[in-house]
Structure 1
Amino acid sequence: MFARACVVALGFVFTLCAAVWPQPAEIRTGSRVLWLDQAVDVALRCGSDGKLQEDAYTIHHGNNLRRLFGDIYHYAQGAADTFQSIFKDRDRDGHINFSESSIVKEAVTSTIKEIHGSKFVPWKLHKRNADFEPDSSAPQHYLSTLQIHQSKCPGSQALQPASFFAGDESHEVIIESNGTAVIKSNSSIGTIRGLQTLRQLFFAHSTSSQAYTPFVPLRIADHPKWPYRGLSIDIARNAFEPRDLLRTIDAMALAKMSRLHIHATDSQSWPIEIPSFPELARKGAYRPELVWSVASLRDIQMYGASRGVSVFVEIDIPGHTASIAHAFPNLIAAFNEKDWSTFAAEPLSGQLKLNDSNVDSFITILLHDLLPRTSPYTSLYHVGGDEVNLAAYLLDETVKSDSPEVLKPLLQNFIDHVVTTSISLGLQPIIWEELLLDWDLTMPTPDPSNPITQTLVQVWRDSARIEEVLQRGHRAIFGDHHYWYLDCGYGGFLDPYPGGKSPSGVPYNSSGGRPSKLHEPFLDYCAPYHNWRQMFTYNPLANISSDLHDGIEGGEVLMWSEQTDSQDLDSKLWPRVAAAAEVLWAGVREAWMLEDATKRLGEWRERVVVDLGIRASPVTMTWCLMEGGCNL
């Protein structure tokens, strides 16, 4: 019998109980307390038509049982000088048993251990000095059994990323008064989402080492609005460590995000190792110790997949490629021109030549090196294609023209090669909108019946552009820079000329003397700062015909890193990314939902700060959380 109820249906919240983030489609809770047993019996059942398979085991709190994948590198150890491999249990050939079955078992084990290990006491969510905790000395009732009911059995063969991440994410979480928790799902990824919900239902006790949930009996039924719920991080303009992304993946998983897009290279640096071209990173990274090894990229991808996050790479081409010139100068046109603003979007200038067979060979070798290494853990590859500069090709001896009529067929051939190669290696391409909307290129689709061959188009400008992509028959990923760019509002990173006038050679081949374009207050191009409430109320469907909505794959928030690095990444991402995550999971949000969202997001923020070591910015004042809100 439910003592109280939370019902969420059709986007309307009637009563708030458990503060789950993102908001579930349906939630009903009671008021009985269950403590998590020190030994939880787990049964994983799968199948249909009464033919159930079972794998039962017990998870003990505080023992030395090794996780299926070995000890996880603890990213909070700031003194660590080098990145340590996360997954250590390998066979003689170095291979890991990385399958849906092993991922589900690891997810169950880690969830129980993380709940037991939580230090999150939710004092900020109650009145000052309130006695909100259950009496730890009173007779206790325990949650001692967890049953996983999955209609499709998780496979024991090597992970198939396309089917794994495309699985049905809907799930039910049920906690009965008799001490049994049940997670029902139709796929392994649905089970993982249910476990991420389960984790948010428990708290640490301030005077006991035990964890408890005060919401029993409980039932949550949930499913996402869009499958693509993404975050992009640029690791090329400023330096990041692999452990920064491990920490980020943990927070993404708790917010039920599903895609981590690594913008891995740009004009300023090339920080990832490519064994076929070792000099790319050796000469193109800022320093040797800032190179991300093959092993570190693999481990990040595996860690993401184990938490339901598809981690994929973007090598942005043909623009944004000046860093290649440090190793291969003959492949790049207009490299490091003094008048960079004529030849690039930001310093330094230089992009791949468009009519050079050596570039074609380079791209072929690069993709055949990188993509087979990433494809065991993701089904996506981002081709790039934004901000291709026409003027740079005046300085490309293979082209010598900035005419779109001359450049378009060359760019079409270039993109055909990259997209076709990506598809042939089993990865679905993603491109920036410019290639389709500004250049009017076509995307090769070798097999229209296979989703892998259908290029996704990422739109960053506005809703009108989303609709245009959809009208052309492509699936779209939204992320309007007016709302979901995380680097906005911090001011520009460029300085005016010291004397107020440009030097000789700026503009190109001139005597200089152009007035500086930068003036007080030195705002950036996408100011103002996009606060979490603005991100939460962004409507990606505004002005898009409803008959086109089915073509939207989802959306992405983006962190460009001109003024961000390891030291401030957390506070710039969180809780704003979580606000976007609820839009992507639960659908369009409204301003009237903000009071409830503040309470739930405030709790989520406290949890990731305490338990994940995420240095997230506050959602609101502590007083407002304690008093139930601050309104005007």
Structure 2
Amino acid sequence: MGLQLLRVWLLLFLFGLVAIVGGGGVNVGDFNIWPMPKSVTNGHRKLYMALDFQLITEGTNYSDASGILKEAFTTMVDVVQMDYALDANFSALHPSVVLKGLQVLISSPNDQLQYGIDESYKLLVPSPYKPDFAHLEAQTVYGALHGLQTFSQLCHFNSATSRIEVLMVPWTIIDQPRFSYRGLLIDTSRHYQPLPMIKKVIDSMVYAKLNVLHWHIVDTQSFPLEIPSYPKLWDGAYSFSERYTFAEAAEIVSYAQRRGINVLAEIDVPGHALSWGRGYPSLWPSKNCQQPLDVSSEFTFKVIDGILSDFSKIFKFKFVHLGGDEVDTSCWMSTPHIMNWLRKHGMNESEAYQYFVLRAQKIALSHGYEIVNWEETFNNFGSKLSRKTVVHNWLGGGVAEKVVAAGLRCIVSNQDKWYLDHLDTTWQQFYMNEPLTNITNTEQQKLVIGGEVCMWGETVDGSDIEQTIWPRAAAAAERLWTTYNKLARDPKQVTRRLAHFRCLLNQRGIAAAPLAGPGRGAPQEPGSCYSQ
């Protein structure tokens, strides 16, 4: 074993002196990988990517029967080579400077995507075992997908040579995420998002190593998703064309899963549900007072059960989001039949709110889900929540420490730092928002499963969603991916690297806004992309 390790390092030194930047504090100005890997070493030589760059999987335990790896590899090569007019003549180059392909070794034969899956990888460029190839090792195919994204960021088109170059070789990158949950919320109720745009958002998430698409599907304004068990819910859509069929929702889930992204589906109950009653008016407390959902009606809970039963057929993520926020119970207190029901059951309005949330939780549990609820449920009756609840923080700081002290899990999305619709929140604030603030107990830290940036849809549609998400979501993505001691203590240290990533997104067809100015800002005067 020792002789093999010595051989590896000798070969690395043959390809150029190794600069160690992974230990003792990373000099983040040395290279342009985003998010920052856990450990990086690099050298000072250059390789050229062959036009027929190959994927080799001999010796791996993973058969790739579903084609996930092959598809991701082909996409990665296409993204790197783009539509550049590449020089096809490599005859003048010495074979030792041509990188012919990537050898991938995956330990697990299983490609089922689920929460907490191993996403680690190790990338060697070039391979000390096969010097004309790069070498990628991962426990799972989803770790390998992250390795492909990192490799793509090592590749650059040189217009002077018309070749794809891999600079600063040899590279040794050992990487894994800090948090298992790294989310982005999109809201398709306030404005409909076309299917191609949702897929573009998923593609952009892959580039930043985010791994959960929180799909806030329905809300007060519209109900755009087909529910086979209760087809009239669809009447709550804005129009016939601003809808998602059940098959289209399944396609979104499949598209995301093949890219290593889970889809967290949300129905927000009992509030934010006026649109439900357009197809089924009996879900409203009354025609004149239309939300929250009628707590006194058994039909309300039959509909929730039907929705979650249908969800379980396509949304295979471990969790479902049941909302529970901003519940104004005044309709319950002004509707005679609900008031009679409350008196009969000896409940006041706050107890009815608790009853509703806990009953919805039981329905979700019966369909095999664990539950995510917005933080108001914890703030009002945290000790009553199922122990399989994840509390989703959004109102501000200080909630996560209370949640984990109570022994529950938490997702951090505090609106003052991680709400993308707050255009005055800068990328620097996104970067410096620490999910574990004031949580020092190691076991309690483990209960913070991650964080999420939220793209609420009141002021975005297909025309501006990308530039509102990026690059600020990327700043949060590094906070969620990168080991804490490798994160910059001052955002100024990462400005150049984030600017490079933003320009990379633009090159890949993602409309990421400039770093300068607020979210969704315009470029400042003529100039280089990298200086905006």
* TM-score interval, smaller chain: 0.7 to 0.9
Distance 1:222 1:590 in 2: 14
Kept in 2, the 8 Å contact 1:258–1:308? The answer is: yes
Counterpart in the other structure of 1:601: 498
Return 255-264 or 106-115, whichever deviates more.
106-115
Distance 1:334 1:208, change over 3 A: farther
1:32 matches 2:45: yes
| Match among 241, 244, 265 for residue 289 of structure 1 | 241
Distance 1:556 1:627, change over 3 A: closer
Counterpart in the other structure of 1:271: 224
Counterpart in the other structure of 1:7: 21
* Cα drift, residue 475 of structure 1: 0.7
Residues 174-323 of structure 1: pairs in structure 2 closer than 5 A:
174-176=124-126, 178-206=131-159, 210-281=163-234, 283-323=235-275
Distance 2:409 2:193 in 1: 31
Kept in 1, the 8 Å contact 2:39–2:174? The answer is: yes
Distance 1:627 1:284, change over 3 A: closer
1:167 matches 2:123: no
Distance 2:472 2:529 in 1: 23
Residues 30-69 of structure 1: pairs in structure 2 closer than 5 A:
30-45=43-58, 53=61
Counterpart in the other structure of 1:524: none
Kept in 1, the 8 Å contact 2:18–2:170? The answer is: no
Distance 2:355 2:61 in 1: 51
Return 203-212 or 422-431, whichever deviates more.
203-212
Per-residue CA distance 1:229-262 (angstroms, 9 max, x = gap): 0011111012211211111111110100010101
* Cα drift, residue 188 of structure 1: 2.0
| Match among 437, 442, 446 for residue 384 of structure 2 | 442
Q: State the one-letter code of the partner of 1:568.
A: D
Distance 1:242 1:15, change over 3 A: closer
Distance 2:221 2:459 in 1: 13
| Match among 428, 433, 452 for residue 533 of structure 1 | 428
Q: State the one-letter code of the partner of 1:374.
A: F
Kept in 2, the 8 Å contact 1:6–1:16? The answer is: no
Residues 380-529 of structure 1: pairs in structure 2 closer than 5 A:
380-400=319-339, 406-440=348-382, 442-444=384-386, 454-489=388-423, 529=424
Q: TM-score, normalised by structure 1?
A: 0.73
Residues 67-146 of structure 1: pairs in structure 2 closer than 5 A:
101-117=66-82, 139=93, 141-146=97-102
Kept in 2, the 8 Å contact 1:236–1:271? The answer is: yes
Distance 1:469 1:54, change over 3 A: closer
SS in 2 for 1:461: coil
Kept in 1, the 8 Å contact 2:192–2:461? The answer is: yes
Counterpart in the other structure of 1:328: 280
Distance 1:15 1:615, change over 3 A: closer
SS in 2 for 1:554: strand
Distance 1:336 1:220 in 2: 61
Kept in 2, the 8 Å contact 1:535–1:576? The answer is: yes
Kept in 1, the 8 Å contact 2:226–2:246? The answer is: yes
Distance 2:459 2:474 in 1: 21
Q: State the one-letter code of the partner of 2:232.
A: E
Per-residue CA distance 1:392-443 (angstroms, 9 max, x = gap): 2113444328999523444444333332332332332211111122234623
Any stretches of 5+ residues in structure 2 without a counterpart? 1-12, 517-522
Counterpart in the other structure of 1:581: 477
Distance 2:186 2:62 in 1: 40
Counterpart in the other structure of 2:103: 147
Distance 1:396 1:364, change over 3 A: farther
Q: State the one-letter code of the partner of 2:393.
A: V
Distance 1:113 1:188 in 2: 19
Kept in 2, the 8 Å contact 1:232–1:558? The answer is: yes
* Cα drift, residue 477 of structure 1: 0.3
Per-residue CA distance 1:300-343 (angstroms, 9 max, x = gap): 11111111111221011111000011111111125565xxxxxx
* Cα drift, residue 104 of structure 1: 2.5
Kept in 2, the 8 Å contact 1:118–1:204? The answer is: no
SS in 2 for 1:108: helix
Distance 1:146 1:139, change over 3 A: same
Counterpart in the other structure of 2:519: none
Per-residue CA distance 1:482-527 (angstroms, 9 max, x = gap): 11111124xxxxxxxxxxxxxxxxxxxxxxxxxxxxxxxxxxxxxx
* Cα drift, residue 572 of structure 1: 0.7
Q: State the one-letter code of the partner of 2:307.
A: L
Distance 1:139 1:269, change over 3 A: same
Distance 2:145 2:182 in 1: 15
Kept in 1, the 8 Å contact 2:479–2:487? The answer is: no
* Cα drift, residue 465 of structure 1: 1.2
Distance 1:32 1:25 in 2: 22
Larger fraction in helix: 2
Per-residue CA distance 1:125-166 (angstroms, 9 max, x = gap): xxxxxxxx9x999626321131112222235xxxx333xx42
Distance 1:100 1:536, change over 3 A: farther
SS in 2 for 1:13: coil
1:371 matches 2:312: yes
Kept in 1, the 8 Å contact 2:179–2:450? The answer is: yes
Any stretches of 5+ residues in structure 1 without a counterpart? 47-51, 56-98, 122-132, 338-348, 446-453, 490-528
| Percent identity of equivalent pairs | 30
Distance 1:534 1:138, change over 3 A: farther
* Cα drift, residue 277 of structure 1: 2.1
Counterpart in the other structure of 1:563: 459
* Cα drift, residue 351 of structure 1: 1.7
Q: State the one-letter code of the partner of 2:259.
A: R
* Cα drift, residue 622 of structure 1: 8.9
Q: State the one-letter code of the partner of 1:139.
A: L
SS in 1 for 2:67: helix
Distance 2:305 2:447 in 1: 31
1:549 matches 2:448: no
Kept in 2, the 8 Å contact 1:456–1:476? The answer is: yes
Kept in 2, the 8 Å contact 1:34–1:179? The answer is: no
* Cα drift, residue 222 of structure 1: 1.0
Q: TM-score, normalised by structure 2?
A: 0.86
Distance 1:460 1:336 in 2: 30
SS in 2 for 1:400: helix
Kept in 2, the 8 Å contact 1:230–1:261? The answer is: yes
Distance 1:615 1:27, change over 3 A: same
Distance 2:337 2:304 in 1: 17
Distance 2:323 2:461 in 1: 22
SS in 2 for 1:438: helix
